[in-house]
Amino acid sequence: MLYMPFDSLYLVLVLPAIVFSIWAQFRVKGSFKKYSKQRVSRGLTGADAAREVLRDNGVTGVRIERASGSLTDHFDPRTNTIRLSESVYSTPSVAAVGVAAHEAGHAVQYSESYAPMKLRAAIIPATNIGSMLSMPLILLGIFLNLTGLINIGIILFGAVVVFQLVTLPVEFNASRRAVAVLNNSNLLTPEEVPAAKKVLSAAALTYVGALAVSLAQFIRLLAIANRRR
């Protein structure tokens, strides 16, 4: 018999991944809060740092705007806009500079047609469909005993896993670009750069956590489908 959602594979695979993901979220919030208190000696704000990263890479035409909320910073390739939360945009802290430089790294990726970023953008429609329909189709297939419907749901969920997997090199590369500019352009002192790296490393763990949850759930779904054969 199958148990949804508290079967043994959920407890062994999915639950630990969820715990890791939650821990990663707490860690990035803690790191950001800690290094938001460390002021940048040069007095640069997050918005200033983003402009410096763009300038250093010869990227033009990118808007930098404020965004509401906390840790809502992101780059929107549709409008070629970097949106920085208030605690990043106008704050001269090491955490703000690190986060803003990272988002500017995404803008540089976009300008250079960085392959993993292009791939991620291409699969977003399939990912959106998969995230909305996969579990309802799987549950409906189990209820109606329709293996084909379960398989379709699993395939759609696979798109979510692929998206999370492709996201990792995109995020890691953006952080590497950010740290390189912070070092080479002397935006931060040698003593401040390690703190910015810690913020970016903590943020990277949230993407690892998201992939771990998706991958664990995918393995579990495959096992469920196999049991029904």
Among candidate residues 52, 103, 171, 192, the one labeled active-site is: 103
Closest CA to 217 of 2, 1, 11: 11
Looking at residue 58, its pLDDT comes to: 94
- CA 22 to mean position of chain CA atoms: 14
CA distance 96 to 35: 8
Q: 212, 20 in Cβ contact below 8 A? A: yes
- CA 215 to mean position of chain CA atoms: 15
Q: Which residues of the chain have pLDDT under 70?
A: 1-6, 228-229
Q: 227, 141 in Cβ contact below 8 A? A: no
Q: Would you state the structure tokens that stand for residue 207, as one six-digit string?
A: 């993407």
Q: What is the DSSP letter of 39?
A: B
Looking at residue 229, its pLDDT comes to: 62
The number of CA neighbours under 13 Å toward the Cβ of 158 is: 7
To which H or E segment does residue 108 belong? helix 94-111
Q: Is 103 a catalytic residue?
A: yes
Looking at residue 32, its pLDDT comes to: 96
CA 17 to each of CA 96, 111, 181, 229: distance values in angstroms, whole numbers, following the listed order: 28, 34, 33, 27
Looking at residue 10, its pLDDT comes to: 86
3 state DSSP class of 85:
strand
Looking at residue 228, its pLDDT comes to: 66
Per-residue burial over 52-85, b if 16 or more Cβ lie within 10 Å, else e, is: bbbebbebeebebeebeeebebebbbeeebbbbb
- CA 17 to mean position of chain CA atoms: 16
State the burial class of residue 174 (Cβ atoms within 10 Å of its Cβ: 0-12, 13-18, 19+). buried
Closest CA to 164 of 110, 114, 104, 124: 124
